[in-house]
Chains A and B, each alone.
Chain A
Amino acid sequence: MMKGRPITILLVEDDPAHAEIVKRSLSGFRVANRLIHLEDGQAAMDYLEGVGEYGDAGQWPRPDLVLLDLRLPKVDGLEVLRRMKRSPGLQRIPTVVLTTSKADRDLAEAYGNGASSYLAKPVDFQRFASLMETFGFYWLLWNEFPTP
């Protein structure tokens, strides 16, 4: 692999089936990458800010990349994005939106709030598989991440 260090991905996704799809797709990239899955926006914020049960930085490393769904329980994805980009400690973490919505308003707000990329989940296995493969190559192999 081209990377010298493992990449930590935070997946925020309330649908366990969709989380499973992402996990399966990225498991093909057999490096020491780590995928952390959280089910709601509040948990994601707590994790990123290292509060509550996520206080142990050794156990819960700061992610290099966030993969974010938009419709989430408690705090929705756009709000998570907004808070991250306002926080000096979190604003440099690339955040990719992965959702079923292709609504103009969601696209506009996501990019407006600093999303690095916006991907819509295809309703087709081949296309979904192909999308995740491309995602893996791009973000895990080619993309350069800033030093935390």
Chain B
Amino acid sequence: MVVLVCLGALAWTGVERTRARVESLRRGEQTLTRLVGLLSTLTDAETAVRGYVIVGDRAFLEQYFGSREKVTADVAALAELMSDQAEQTARLESLRPVIEARYENWVQLIGLREQEGAGEGALALVATGEGRRLHDRIRAILAEMRRAEERVSAERGEAVRESVWQAQMWVVLGSAVAVAVAISGWLSSRREVEARRRAEAELGTTLKDLETRVAERTAALAQSEELVRSTLESVGDGFLACDGEWRVIYANSVATDLLGMSWEAMDGVVFWELFPAAAGSRLEAAYRAAAGGEVQDFENLYEPWQRWFRNRVRPRRGGGVTVWFQEITERRRLEEETRRWWSLFRSAQFGLAYASIRDNTFLGMNQAFARERGYEVEELLGRPLSVVYAPEARGRWRENLETIDRSGHLVFEAIHQRKNGTRFPVLMEVTVVHDAAGNPVSRVACAMDITEWKRAESALRERNEELMRFMYTVSHDLKSPLVTIRTFLGYLEQDLRGGDASRVEKDMGYMRGAAEKMSELLEDILELSRVGRKSQPPEDVSLQAVVGEALELVAGSVTERGVRVEVTTEPVWLTGDRVRLREVFQNLIDNAVKFMGDQAAPRVEIGVEREGEAEGANLVLFVRDNGVGIDPRHREKLFGLFEKLHPGSPGTGIGLALVKRIVEVHGGRIWAESDGPGLGSVFRFTLERARLGSAVNP
């Protein structure tokens, strides 16, 4: 009887243990499902955030927001399911902070994207790979948990089978003992019979219970297979599996949809036959590597379709591979476009920048913009826009900003300031950029340095004014002799009628003088117009050679007046139109001799001085005399066209105007100095290509 009770107890215990083990097996299945579900939720969330960052459509974020709750539920359920497994619980605990970090990363990404609109910062954050690292970490922990769970499940299955067998053994043994006891105790008390009957009943119940449990377990297995299948069907990614012979053995509906093939067309067909273009490509290499045990995660373009896919390929237990994939053609296109614009922006030679409309600070710019202003890009990021505007130009600029924000676009001129405080004129084109909801978020500016334009503009204005002055002078000076000729022609007629011979002679003298003056003027105007318009190719010539030629031409008047001429012996080289350079000295020497006055020891000195102390200092050439000098009051008129300080002196007054023109055409300037009437004068001038030295080409 005791033996029987023991056997019953043993059988009972076995059944109980079996029940507990079946229960833990069921929990294992649930754990696996949760693990798959958790990874899938996180992957979907990542896809959603990435979509939002690239496209900016908030619809993407719904999936992301939904994921948070699902993940929390999954983690809580997993904690509960694994509460009896110390190692798994430890893994789960190590997973929690990574998931938190992942969400923080997303929150940051979404925040950046919302704040700035264009997404440069967000893309930069993506580019740090932080998200990718976190995701890989999550995936690794989950995979580890899954492997552990699968191992435990396998052990548990074995244990269940074992305990069922043990329970059965105990029952069989119990039954045998019971039969023996029944036979030997046929005559035993009714109490014993009763007890035995009760034990039998209990055993029966136990067996029945065991059968029920086994049936339940079978149903649960079927159910969990269905659960896995429905899970695979409900994830957003394509999933397919190939066996060791590369035959497709599973494809979810997303996969068949993405690949445009029915399951029937794929079922059991060798993958490379379905996708012949994949043979020999990166795709094939990756599949084979995965089959060999290396997990692959890569993006590829399937050439025949011109579509991009992201593939995560893993070795499949039992041979072959499993593939998670999603189409990323649109994302790649957007990325490509973004990259193209970004590289255009960065490499443009025009200064480009964009700024926040909220607080007028720089959000980004290309190197051209920063460098043109003497900064590095990093120095200007986040700084107020006003740092690049010259203080005196800021008021006008603020007015322009108001106009831009009102009209959305403006082209205007402004004065910008470099880091070192120097200024330069710019032409700005500014456009307001809006986010998807139509709110203004930033201003994009294209800035062009127009220093050269401005210089050319003012040079043109100067030339124009000079031309106007010239026209005025010429018309006046030509009209004057014409008035003389016409008027004296009238007098001539009168005087001829009156027979006044001396008056006739005088009249004709005035007319002759005026006609000569007119032809002289015309000659001079032609001469002046030739300077700079038609010039000889530039020559290297020494100062002494040019002055020597000039002196030959004025030798007559120099000798006549007894002027002593001194020329410097310093080696000076000039480059330019040799004939014109000679004319400069010829006119200046001629001028000096002409206005020598009653100087008893007339002297003209031709030499060179250095302007400033520096090595590359300008050379200043000079022609000095000890003649009548120049009244400082008349100095400004000296170089004017047809200006004559001395009414009676010969010439039309073109000499110095011509000299000035030649000097300017040679990139120099000329000025006159004198201590006053009677104290001599000195004409100084520079020439762009004058230099000291003995060689022609130093």
Contact = CB atoms under 8 A, between A and B. Distances in A.
Interface stretch (A18-26, A53-61, A87-95): A18-26
Nearest to A126: B490
B409 interface: no
B483 A18 contact: yes
B472 A74 contact: no
Given A17-B510, A100-B476, A74 B645 contact: yes
B487 to A, nearest CB: 5
Interface string A63-98: 000000001011110000000000000000000000
A74 B637 contact: yes
B480 interface: yes
Contact of B491 (A100, A121, A125): A125
A10 to B, nearest CB: 16
Interface string A127-140: 01100000000000
A27 interface: no
B490 A73 contact: no
Interface string B472-500: 10001101111110111111000000000
B646 to A, nearest CB: 7
Given A75-B633, A75-B634, A100-B483, A17 B488 contact: yes
Contacts of A126: 490
Give the size range of B's interface with the partner: 20 to 34
B631 interface: yes
A73 B644 contact: yes
B486 A24 contact: no
B588 to A, nearest CB: 20
Contacts of B488: 17, 21, 125
B497 to A, nearest CB: 14
Contact of A20 (B477, B481, B510): B510
Contacts of B481: 17
Given A73-B647, A125-B489, A17 B484 contact: yes
A130 B647 CA distance: 28
A103 interface: yes
A15 B634 CA distance: 19
A108 to B, nearest CB: 14
B643 interface: yes
Contacts of B289: none
Given A17-B514, A100-B476, A101-B476, A73 B646 contact: yes
A49 interface: no
B479 A123 contact: yes
A125 B637 CA distance: 32
Contacts of A17: 481, 484, 487-488, 510, 513-514
B634 A74 contact: yes
B644 A121 contact: no
A128 B494 CA distance: 14
A126 B493 CA distance: 12
A144 interface: no
Interface in B294-315: none
Contacts of A40: 647
Contacts of A14: 644, 647
Contacts of A129: 487, 490
B637 A15 contact: no
A124 B645 CA distance: 29
B648 interface: yes
Contacts of A100: 476, 479-480, 483
B651 to A, nearest CB: 12
B483 A123 contact: yes
Given A40-B647, A129-B490, A74 B513 contact: no
Contact of B487 (A16, A21, A75): A21
Contacts of B477: 71
Given A74-B631, A103-B472, A125 B647 contact: no
Contacts of B644: 14, 73
Contacts of A42: 631, 633-634
Given A17-B513, A74-B645, A128 B487 contact: yes
A22 B486 CA distance: 14
Contacts of B637: 74, 76
Nearest to B648: A39
A138 to B, nearest CB: 20
A132 to B, nearest CB: 10
Contact of B486 (A15, A20, A101, A123): A123
Contacts of B647: 14, 39-40, 73
Given A20-B506, A99-B476, 13 more contacts: A15-B484, A17-B514, A18-B483, A73-B646, A73-B647, A74-B634, A74-B637, A75-B634, A100-B483, A103-B472, A124-B486, A126-B490, A128-B483
Across the A-B interface, give the 3 residue pairs with the lowest CB-CB distance, nearest first.
A125-B490, A17-B484, A39-B647
26 contacts: A14-B644, A16-B510, A17-B484, A17-B487, A18-B480, A18-B484, A20-B510, A21-B483, A21-B488, A39-B648, A42-B631, A42-B633, A73-B645, A73-B647, A74-B645, A100-B483, A121-B479, A121-B483, A122-B483, A124-B486, A124-B487, A125-B488, A125-B490, A128-B486, A129-B487, A129-B490
